[in-house]
């Protein structure tokens, strides 16, 4: 039976206050329950309990039978570090830039507390084993009682309840590079309509199902330990994935396979008064992982701080069911994009603010670890894909709308279809309201003045409503906005000038009347992000000399990393016009990096760019060597956190 919530929601939505404060005691709760979080990486619900007939996940299935399964659960971002920032802080990453970018070092305001700090104040002994990857400047050792591979509830004081987080890296994306025989065979899997149905793709899918079975065994081992220690009936157990899966068009992309995650909560009979529904229930209302810290605080009996935007799913005060789950994409490793999305569980609406960029931009690590990406790319270059399969490598529509019931592969865009008009209107409005409510920072160029939770609320630096209008106008590719964009190139606001220049870039040849204005920006604008976008636009209008020279100079090693990435991004998208920059590009491609000290994104971009400009690029020649793959799969926590902040400076 499906329940959207327990028949009577307890006490309404969780209170929002300026600081954590105790709630009224609940009769019968003499002490607090233990809490165990079991976290898997990079996986959709390839799980039997979610209806997957191919999956073999008996331990997670068993947990679901006696727990509560959230059918429409989503990560806030389709990648780990921004998603983990949201879970740690309860703050939308895109409202505390640069936390929304993959692999960054955002500054968490000192007055904001993370959930382990608040839970420790409530009396919990807090353990994290081992992954952090919080995408911000929080010191993990300062917020946890125990941080690292030695953390276990068995080492917790007996006079305190514990909050113990175990992370398994078994399903992380680098493991798909291995080739191990398992229960699931290539002929057993279904290949979605957007992918070519090849032996390579089938092998990757089968490999991933078998990885999921291995991960399920780890979950079962932890649950057995809990039972053997006599703690299973005094411990609330959460199992969830930190972001969507890694198979093609999953991780890093704002479709169901990039954002949808498993979430199962088991609440023992002793603590059923904290549950939102009866054991064995399925909750269909959409939830996101940003609801998790609110849920912990509600279980502990303390109110969530004002900056936390989630809704408690269980505890003393359970929030009313939500109508929508929101998601986003900004920079993913070395590639920039700006995507915002919302779903109600039936429909998914996607807004692409940078539709001139291909959906499937080349991401070095993505291509390295997964053979099906490399083969997909090779078939594209050979012209052997159907239109549906080739869409991944093409510029995007400004808006997308999918009926998830009729079209689970999300290939039939209904944005202009009569059947989708009502849903599109409703979801557009919901997304706009959400972006304004959280103060979405996505329109601010990375590295520009105004980054940060409070800084971005200065409307003289970041006029969000105005920027949303300008960015939407840019993405619509309407030549009637030409004069508007040209005028806005003189705005005193860096972000406005950036989006005005991007509007002209997206217009392409239709922007020719603004060529002189763009040349002026390239020559004299004080903000490098504006100059980079204008330079790319100017190259498209046949004026490459000064523009390419600027991009080469900004891509060189003396500039801040975000500026270098933005310059390389532009160079990657101007085709053979980038050839004069080859000396700089080759220098970066041949650079010897010191791991965890030197940033690797410029080198990745430069290596790819050299190959494409010299005509030698062959995606089938990419990929980890067998030894490198073996080393990667033996190191499930090889990506535990952001690079040192020094890597983001000159």
Is 35 inside any structural domain? Answer: yes
Q: What is the pLDDT of residue 635?
A: 55
Q: What is the pLDDT of residue 630?
A: 74
pLDDT tens digits for range 554-576? 999 888 999 999 999 999 999 99
pLDDT tens digits for range 437-492? 999 999 999 999 999 999 999 999 999 999 999 999 999 999 999 999 999 999 99
Q: What is the pLDDT of residue 523?
A: 97
In 3-state terms the chain splits into helix, strand, coil percentages (rounded to 5) of 45, 10, 45
Q: What is the pLDDT of residue 179?
A: 78
pLDDT tens digits for range 506-558? 999 999 999 999 999 999 999 999 999 999 999 999 999 999 999 999 999 88
Is 403 inside any structural domain? Answer: no
Is 619 inside any structural domain? Answer: no
Q: Residue 31: pLDDT above 90?
A: no
Q: pLDDT confidence of 597, banded at 50, 70, 90?
A: low
Is 82 inside any structural domain? Answer: yes
Range in 137-141, 187-191, 364-368, 481-485 with the lowest mean pLDDT: 364-368
CA–CA separation, 462 and 449 (whole Å): 9
Print burial letters for 578-595: b (CB count within 10 Å at least 16), e (below 16).
beebbebbbebbeeeeee
Q: Residue 27: pLDDT above 90?
A: no
Count: domains in the chain: 1
Q: What is the pLDDT of residue 599?
A: 74
- Would you give the DSSP letter of residue 2? B
Residue 553, C-beta contacts closer than 8 angstroms, at least 6 positions apart: 584
Is 569 inside any structural domain? Answer: no
Give the CATH number, domain containing residue 226.
3.40.720.10
Which stretches within 382-481 are classed as H helix? 387-390, 421-438, 464-475
Residue-averaged pLDDT of the chain: 92
Is 47 inside any structural domain? Answer: yes
Per-residue pLDDT, averaged over 66-83, amounts to 98
Per-residue pLDDT, averaged over 585-609, amounts to 86
Is 649 inside any structural domain? Answer: no
Q: pLDDT confidence of 493, banded at 50, 70, 90?
A: very high
CA–CA separation, 493 and 580 (whole Å): 32
What share of the chain has pLDDT > 70, as a percent? 92
Per-residue pLDDT, averaged over 394-416, amounts to 98
Catalytic residues: 80
pLDDT tens digits for range 350-362? 999 999 999 999 9
pLDDT tens digits for range 300-331? 999 999 999 999 999 999 999 999 999 999 99
User: Which residue segment(s) compose the domain that 270 sits in?
Assistant: 16-320
- Could you tell me which residues are beta bridge partners of residue 260? 74
Is 419 inside any structural domain? Answer: no
């Amino acid at each position: 039976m499906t329940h959207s919530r327990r028949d009577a929601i307890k006490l309404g939505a969780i209170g929002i206050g300026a600081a954590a404060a105790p709630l009224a005691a609940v009769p019968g709760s003499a002490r607090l329950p233990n809490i165990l979080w079991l976290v898997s990486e990079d996986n959709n619900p390839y799980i039997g309990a979610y209806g997957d007939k191919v999956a073999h996940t008996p331990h997670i299935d068993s947990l679901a039978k006696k727990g509560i399964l959230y059918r429409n659960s989503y990560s806030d971002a389709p990648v780990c570090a921004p998603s983990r920032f949201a879970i740690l802080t309860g703050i939308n990453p895109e409202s505390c830039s640069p936390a929304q970018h993959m692999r960054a070092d955002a500054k968490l305001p000192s007055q904001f507390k993370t959930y382990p700090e608040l839970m420790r104040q409530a009396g919990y002994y807090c353990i994290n084993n081992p992954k952090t990857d919080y995408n911000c400047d929080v010191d993990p050792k300062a917020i946890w009682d125990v941080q690292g591979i030695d953390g276990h509830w068995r080492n917790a004081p007996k006079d305190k309840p514990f909050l113990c987080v175990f992370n398994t890296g078994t399903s992380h994306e680098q493991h798909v590079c291995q080739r191990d025989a398992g229960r699931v065979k290539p002929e057993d899997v279904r290949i979605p309509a957007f992918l070519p149905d090849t032996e390579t793709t089938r092998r990757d899918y089968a490999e991933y199902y078998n990885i999921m079975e291995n991960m399920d065994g780890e979950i079962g081992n932890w649950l057995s330990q809990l039972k053997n220690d006599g703690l299973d009936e005094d411990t609330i157990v959460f199992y969830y994935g930190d972001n969507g899966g890694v198979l093609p068009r999953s991780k890093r992309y704002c479709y169901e396979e990039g954002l949808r995650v498993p979430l199962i909560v088991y609440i023992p009979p002793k603590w059923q008064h904290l549950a939102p529904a009866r054991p064995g229930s399925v909750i269909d209302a959409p939830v996101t992982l940003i609801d998790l810290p609110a849920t912990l605080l509600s279980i502990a009996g303390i109110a969530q701080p004002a900056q936390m935007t989630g809704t408690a799913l269980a505890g003393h005060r359970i929030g009313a069911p939500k109508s929508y789950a929101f998601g986003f994409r900004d920079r993913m490793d070395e590639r920039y994009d700006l995507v915002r999305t919302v779903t109600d569980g039936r429909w998914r609406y996607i807004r692409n603010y940078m539709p001139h960029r291909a959906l499937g931009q080349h991401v070095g690590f993505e291509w390295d670890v997964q053979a099906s990406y490399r083969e997909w790319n090779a078939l594209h270059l050979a012209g052997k894909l159907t239109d549906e399969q080739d869409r991944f490598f093409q510029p995007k529509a400004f808006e997308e709308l999918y009926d998830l019931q009729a079209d689970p592969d999300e290939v039939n865009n209904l944005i202009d279809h009569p059947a989708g008009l009502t849903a599109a209107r409703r979801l557009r409005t919901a997304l706009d309201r959400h972006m304004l409510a959280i103060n979405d920072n996505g329109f601010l160029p990375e590295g520009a003045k105004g980054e940060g939770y409070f800084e971005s609320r200065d409307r003289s630096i970041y006029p969000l409503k105005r920027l949303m209008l300008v960015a939407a106008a840019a993405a619509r590719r309407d030549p009637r906005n030409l004069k508007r964009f040209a005028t806005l190139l003189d705005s005193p606001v860096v972000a406005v000038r950036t989006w005005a220049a991007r509007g002209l870039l997206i217009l392409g040849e239709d922007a020719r009347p603004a060529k002189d204005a763009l040349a002026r920006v390239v020559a004299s604008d004080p903000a490098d992000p504006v100059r980079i976008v204008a330079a790319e636009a100017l190259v498209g209008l046949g004026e490459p000399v000064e523009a390419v020279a600027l991009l080469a100079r900004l891509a060189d090693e003396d500039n801040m990393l975000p500026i270098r990435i933005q310059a390389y991004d532009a160079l990657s998208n101007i085709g053979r016009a980038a050839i004069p920059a080859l000396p700089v590009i080759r220098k970066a491609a041949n650079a010897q990096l010191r791991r965890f000290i030197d940033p690797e994104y410029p080198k990745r971009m430069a290596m790819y760019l050299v190959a494409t400009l010299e005509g030698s690029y062959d995606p089938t020649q990419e990929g980890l060597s067998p030894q490198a793959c073996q080393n990667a799969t033996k190191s499930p926590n090889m990506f535990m956190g952001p690079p040192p902040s020094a890597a983001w400076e000159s």
